[in-house]
Amino acid sequence: MRTRLSELIRHRLVWPVAALVMLLAVDVVHTPGFLAVRMQDGHLYGGPIDILRYGAPLVLISVGMTLVIATRGIDLSVGAVVAIAGALACLRIQKLTDPSAIGGVLAAVAIALAVALVLGLWNGILVAGFRIQPIVATLILMVAGRGLAQLITQGQIITVNSGPYHVIGGGFLLALPVPVLIAAVVTVLVALLLRRTALGLLLESVGGNAEASRLVGIRAGGLIAGVYVVCACCAAVAGLMISSNVSAADSNNAGLWIELDAILAVVLGGTALTGGRFHLGGTVLGALVIQTLTTTIYTIGVPPETTLLFKALVVIAVCLIQSPAFRAKVMRARPNRRHPTPDLPATDRVDAAPSRQEAVHR
């Protein structure tokens, strides 16, 4: 029993699940009907539905970030890609004669995704082709991309009134929010592609030891460039969700610091920043923990000026609890000795420790 409990505690998903349950418990205590899910006009509403709905963009970006981190990389530009995608789509729809035309909306979405693909390829070329450090290469686009989004919108908030576009972030299908379905479909497709083919093993091999992968014939450059493209496309879809939900594109605030939440979600899910093994299921769980924490902050009424500090404290607590070294120090754990060394009799101790005269004669 004790062995099973010890194995359970060491499992990488135990503490994120515990944090999620604790946050939901706080929400229930503050709002007794928080977990209640109701059907209204054929749509599902409630606290858990809101967490899934507003957490869908973060889940998408975190899935893409997991692939990048698996190759021992990082992508700091996803927030800028979110802003660019939303700005391009809203600007295109605003210029349409009929903003409700499905064809025009699809064209706007296609433009945003195509630009995101180019931006992801740019990151991939810098990292894989020119061997620039990932944090530096993506930091370039993080800064320049935010400026590009502001140029697209001329520093203004672009508002649109398009029913088909609003469906992407605020619509419902089969009683569930469309963003939740999109995030679920993308996550399942990526998981199947990685686990049912050799692509997942190749990514882990490149992230674990790039030089050894090269020696066995794996072309790491194409894989690395590909994961940055996928990450950028996931960020673009998230940007479309965010902008369509509010029917506006805010290049200054859309996706601001979301890259940090995505990295944290990946780490909470058990994927190491050193590359190699990755866990998509853990990443999704980590993203839900981050979104639940954000919802809890608003639910309990934390003052806006202390929101980021409160969030940082909770995240630090979860990370420390998740750390085996920290738990060992706090609980003062000691390794169990199954075969302790018996105490020697007094005579044996004397024989084992010769006197000074005997030592001199020897």
Greatest pairwise CA separation for the chain in angstroms:
108
Weakest-pLDDT range from 16-20, 188-192, 238-242, 328-332 = 328-332
Kindly indicate the confidence band of residue 116, based on its pLDDT and cuts at 50, 70 and 90: very high
3-state secondary structure 308-358: HHHHHHHHHHHHHHHCHHHHHHHHCCCCCCCCCCCCCCHHHHHHHCCCHHH
What's the average model confidence in pLDDT over 119-126? 97
What's the average model confidence in pLDDT over 98-117? 96
For 131-165, how does the pLDDT look when each residue is reduced to its tens digit (9 = 90+)? 999 999 999 999 999 999 999 999 899 999 999 99
Kindly indicate the confidence band of residue 286, based on its pLDDT and cuts at 50, 70 and 90: very high
Kindly indicate the confidence band of residue 124, based on its pLDDT and cuts at 50, 70 and 90: very high
What's the average model confidence in pLDDT over 184-204? 93
Kindly indicate the confidence band of residue 323, based on its pLDDT and cuts at 50, 70 and 90: confident
Whether the predicted pLDDT of 74 surpasses 80: yes
For 20-58, how does the pLDDT look when each residue is reduced to its tens digit (9 = 90+)? 999 999 999 999 999 999 999 889 999 999 999 999 999
Whether the predicted pLDDT of 6 surpasses 90: no
